[in-house]
Structure 1
Amino acid sequence: MNPGDLTPGELGRRGLLVTGAAAALTLGSVSFASAADGEGGHGGGGGAVPDRTKTIRGTLPPGSPDYVYLPVDVPAGVRELAVSYTYDKPSVPVGTQGNALDIGIFDEHGTGLGGRGFRGWSGGARSEFFIRADEATPGYLPGPVRAGRWNIALGPYTTAPEGLAYTVTLTLRFGPTPATPEPVYPPVRAKGRGRAWYRGDCHIHSVHSDGGRTPAEIAALARAAGLDFINTSEHNTSSGHRAWEGLWGDDLLILTGEEITTRNGHVLGISTDHGSWIDWRYRARDNRFGHYAREIRRAGGLVVPAHPHATCIGCNWKFGFGEADAVEVWNGPYTLDDEVSVADWDNTLVSGGADWTPAMGNSDAHKDPDRIGTPQTVVLADELSRDAILAGIRAGHSYITESSAISLTFGATGGRAAHAGIGERLRVEADTPVTVRLDVTGAPGCTAHFVTDQGTLYSTPLPTSGAGTVEWNTTPAYATYVRAEVRHTPAAAGLPGALAALTNPVFLGAGG
C-alpha cells in the first residue's frame, strides 16, 4: 500500500457523519504536512518544497446520500490543488443502473447550501481538475488555495448493486501564490436593430461543463445559425461566465447563466448576474426550490424549468411550475417528450391568461452533431440588451422555430380595430367577431394549425413555397386563447408531425 492510501476498512474506522437536509455524508478528514515540515512526496527539486500526494479509496453502497464530502485539511503555502479520481464500472443486468460518480469541490468557507464555499463542479465530465490563483480547469473557479478545511464533493448519481468503489488522488503543490486576474464579462447590451424580433438560444453547454465545444466555437456557430443572443448554461457552475472575452460584438449579445441540475429536474437560470452561482443540492422533498428560485431572480435572472418531461435519470421536472417565469417546452430536435411538454404547457393556458407561463425552446447543444439554434426562441424586444430580452421572454412576446429560416407573424383583430400580438390579450366582448392571422415564411411542406382551449380547431397546408397567410374567424366566447403551430408531415399515420414552429398564445376577451 502506498503512503497516504486509505483502505475501505480504515475509512470505516475514521467514521462517517450525516450532515444536513440535503442528503449528504461527510467522511473522515485527510491531512497534509505543512510546507515547513519538508515531508516526502514527489516533484520539487532545487530547494523547492516537494509536492504532497495522498490517495483515498472507498466504496459507497447502494442508497448512499446524494452528496458525500471528503474533507481535506489544506496547509498554508499551497500554490495549486489538483484532484483526480476513478471509480469501478461493473457490468450490470439490463434494466439495472450502473455506477456514475460526479465530482466538485468547496473551499475553506464550507459546504453549506448557498454558501460562499463553492469552487467548482464538473459532474461526470472529467476525471481530474486543478485550482490555482491565476487559472483553473474549466468548471472550476481560479483563486488562491487558502489554508483551511476544503471538501471534495462526490455525487453518486447512480450506484450498481455491488456498490461504487472509488479512488481519489489529491496533490498539493507549494510555492508563491500568483495574482488572480480580474474577470472580464460580456457587456449587457449589443448594438442590435432597435425594437425588433431577436433570435436566441438560452441553453448551450461548453467545455465548462459537459460540452465538447469551446466558447469561441459556440460563438461562431451561433452567428452561423442566425442568432442575435445566446445564454451560457453550464451545469451547476459559473466558471464559464468569464470565458467569452473578445467573442461578443454588435451582432451577438452573450448572456451568462447556469443550468441548476438537481436530482428532481433541471432549471435554467437565464442571464443571472456575472459571477453568480445558484446551488443545486436539494430535492423536491426538501422544500427548498422556492428559496433558490428567488435567488435566481435576486441575481437578475429568469427561472425556466428545462426539458420537463425528459426521460434521463433526474431530468424530469418535479418541483411544479408556480415559480417559473417561462418553461422550456422544446429542447433540441423535436421528440416525443417535447410533444408531451407542449401538451402539458397548453393545459396551463385554460385559466385565460391569469398568471400564465410563456413557452420557449432551446437547443441544449453539447457537441457535434448537436446544432446550436435548433430550436431557437424569437423575442420581440425594444433593443438587443439583457433587460429587454428578459422582459420579452417574461411577457411571452416570443415564438419558437426550428431554425432561422422560419419567420412568423401572428395576431388577432376584432371590435373597433383592436389588435393583439403574441403574448397579448385582445380585449373585446365575448360575442365580438375576431380574425386570427398567421403569416409564415420558410416552412415548405408544412401545415399551419390554430390551437385553442378546446384543441386544434383549424388546420391547413401551407403553399409549397413554405410562405403563406392563414386566417380563421372565431369569438372570445368560443376560444379562450389561440396559438399557432407549424408542423411537418407526420412520420406515421395517426401521429402529429414534428413542430417546425410554435407561438405563445393570444388571449381573447375582456377578462384576465
Structure 2
Amino acid sequence: MCDDDARLGRRALFVTGAAAALTLGSVTFARGADDMHHTETRTVSGTLPPGSPDFVYVPVEVPDGVREIKVSYTYDRPAVPAGTPGNALDIGIFDERGTDLGGKGFRGWSGGARTEFFIRADDATPAYLPGPVNEGTWHIALGPYTVAPQGLAYELTITLSYGEPGPVAEPVYPPERARGRGRDWYRGDCHLHSWYSDGRRTPAEIASLARAAGLDFINSSEHNTHSAHAHWAEAAGDDLLVLLGEEVTTRNGHVLALGTDPGTFVDWRYRARDNRFGKFARQIRKAGGLVVPAHPHATCIGCNWKFGFGEADAVEVWNGPYTPDDEVALADWDGMLVASVREGRSWIPAMGNSDAHRSPDPVGSPQTVVLADDLTREAVLEGIRAGRSYVAESRNVSLSFTASGGRGSHAGIGERLRVGRDTPVTVRVEVAGGPRCHVRLVTDQGVLFTSGPLPVSGAGVVEWVTSPSYAAYVRAELRHEAVVGPLPGALAAFTNPIFLGRD
C-alpha cells in the first residue's frame, strides 16, 4: 500500500486557470508491454482536511501495453454535528492528454454515483468514455464536494490489465430530425438523467417514459459527461427527437448545455470568481446549443446559480415538482423581464423540465411546449431561444395565449404586439386540462387579473383588456387552488410573455 496521507500544507497548491487544485505524488507500475495478460494493482490512501481545494489529482503512470484501467475507491463518513455537512467525494479521470481546463484529456466523471469504474478500447463504465488506454501520465480526479470537520480519509485501488486492446467502436448518434407536423406546438423535457451519470434508468427506459408522457423531444443532460451521447440512437425514432447535451455541474450552480453537437464536452471545473464561465458559454453556442441555467434557486449545496444571466439563452424556472424555490425562480425571472423593459434590452425566455433521475420521478413533469417550424433540432432550439413556448405540468394541460388590437394586429407567446401606446389590447387565454384552476395575468406592474376557478371539465376562456401604456408585457399563469391562506396555488402552467407596444 502506498500512503499519501500528508497535509495540504506540505503539498504544492496551484491554480489551473480555474478552481484551485492539488496534485499528489505519482502512482507507478513496474510492468510493461512484455508482460501480456497480467494485472497489477496499487492502493493509495490519504486524508483531505476541511478547506481542501475543489479538485485533487492523483497521477498514474500507465505503461505501454495496458488493455484496461480499473479504479475503485472508498472514503469514511464519520458522524458530524447537526447542520454540518459530512464527507462527500466525487471521482473521475483524465488520460495522458492532461487535465487542462477545456482540454482533450477528459475520459469520464461519475461524481459520487459509483464506487468503481473501468475504461478500455471497446467499452467503459457508464459516465466514462471508451477508447485506448495509452501510455503516459493519467490523472484520477477527486472532488471533495464537502469535508467533515474530522477530515476525509480515502482509499484508491488502481488495477491495470495488460493485453491486446479490443476494437474501438465508432459512435452512432441519434438523428437531428423526427417526423413532425410542420409548424406546431411540440412538447419536450430537456433535463433528464440516465445511468450514464447519477440516474438509474437506461436511455431506452427514459424514451419509453417520454413517449408515455406525450413528449415529442427530450435532451440528454448528464452531469459533467457526454458519455451518453453515443447511446441514444436506438432510443430515438420517428416519433421522438433526442437532443444531446450536458448538465454542467459547477460548485456555483448548474447549467444545461442544451442541444449541442454530438460529442461536445463542456468543462465544469471553475467557480464564478474564476471568470471562466463566459468561455464555456460561448463553446456551448459554437456547438449549436443553448445556455440554460438550471434550478437557479435550488437549495442543495452548489446548486444555487451564481454566474449571473448575461450569457443565458433561457432559464429553467420550473424544475421537477413545484416547490418554493421554483416560486422564487419565477419571481426572479419576472424581475428580469421588468428590467429588460426598463433598460430596453433583450429578455431571457423561461422553460421547465423534470430533472428526473429514477423511479418514481416522472418524466415530462413539467414539460416545455414549443412552437417550432418542425420537429428538428434546429427548429426546436430556435423556438426555445425565441421564447415561443409555455410550461405545463403534464400533457393534459394545454394553453393558447394571444393578444390582439388595432387594425387586426395580433401576437402570440414570445412575440410583440406593435400597436400604439393607448390602443386597447385584448388578451385571450384558452385553457384545457385545468380543472378548478385559476388564470392569472401578470404584467410589469404585477398580477392585474385573476379569474375565478375553471369548471371541473378544466376547459375555459378568459379575456382581459389593457393597453401598452398600462402593461409593457403580459404573461399568463394557470394556478391550482391555494392550499394556505393568501399564498397562490402551485403552477399548473405558465407562459412566456407577449410584449405590448411598438418598442
Q: Deviations over 1:280-330 (max 9, x none)?
A: 000000001111100110111100000000000000000000100000000
**Structure-1 residue corresponding to 2:396:** 405
**Structure-2 residue corresponding to 1:32:** 29
Q: Deviations over 1:168-213 (max 9, x none)?
A: 0000000001111110100000111111000000000000000010
Instruction: Give the TM-score, by structure 2 length.
Output: 0.97
What letter is aligned with 1:277?
Answer: F
**Structure-2 residue corresponding to 1:496:** 488
Cα distance 1:13–1:448, how it changes in 2: closer, same or farther (>3 A)? Answer: closer
**Structure-2 residue corresponding to 1:484:** 476
1:7 to partner: Cα distance? 4.9
Matched, 1:349 2:337: yes
**Structure-2 residue corresponding to 1:44:** none
What letter is aligned with 2:351?
Answer: M
Residue in structure 1 matching 2:283, options 267, 285, 295:
295
1:463 to partner: Cα distance? 2.2
Contact 1:377/1:399 (<8 A) preserved: yes
Q: Deviations over 1:400-457 (max 9, x none)?
A: 0000001110010000000000000000011000000000001101000100011111
Contact 1:14/1:27 (<8 A) preserved: no
Q: CA RMSD in A?
A: 1.3
1:37 to partner: Cα distance? 6.8
Instruction: Give the TM-score, by structure 1 length.
Output: 0.96
Matched, 1:277 2:265: yes
**Structure-2 residue corresponding to 1:20:** 16
Contact 2:57/2:139 (<8 A) preserved: yes
**Structure 2 SS opposite 1:97:** coil
Contact 1:17/1:27 (<8 A) preserved: no
Work out the CA distance in 2 between the residues paired with 1:268 and 1:18.
Answer: 29
**Structure 1 SS opposite 2:265:** coil
1:13 to partner: Cα distance? 11
Work out the CA distance in 1 between the residues paired with 2:399 and 2:196.
Answer: 34
Residue in structure 2 matching 1:261, options 249, 252, 255:
249
Alignment of 1:82-481 (within 5 A): 82-350=70-338, 351-352=340-341, 354-460=345-451, 461-481=453-473
**Structure 1 SS opposite 2:2:** coil
> Segments of 4+ in structure 1 off by > 6 A?
11-14
How many residue pairs get aligned? The number is 498
Q: Deviations over 1:336-377 (max 9, x none)?
A: 000000000001112337310000000000001110000000
Instruction: Note the residue ranges of structure 1 that are not aligned, 5 or more in a row.
Output: 39-47
Cα distance 1:506–1:57, how it changes in 2: closer, same or farther (>3 A)? Answer: same
Work out the CA distance in 1 between the residues paired with 2:296 and 2:33.
Answer: 54
Cα distance 1:36–1:276, how it changes in 2: closer, same or farther (>3 A)? Answer: closer
Alignment of 1:54-73 (within 5 A): 54-73=42-61
Cα distance 1:232–1:6, how it changes in 2: closer, same or farther (>3 A)? Answer: same
**Structure 2 SS opposite 1:31:** coil
Work out the CA distance in 1 between the residues paired with 2:190 and 2:176.
Answer: 15
**Structure-2 residue corresponding to 1:42:** none
Residue in structure 2 matching 1:6, options 3, 6, 20:
3
Matched residues, percent identical?
69
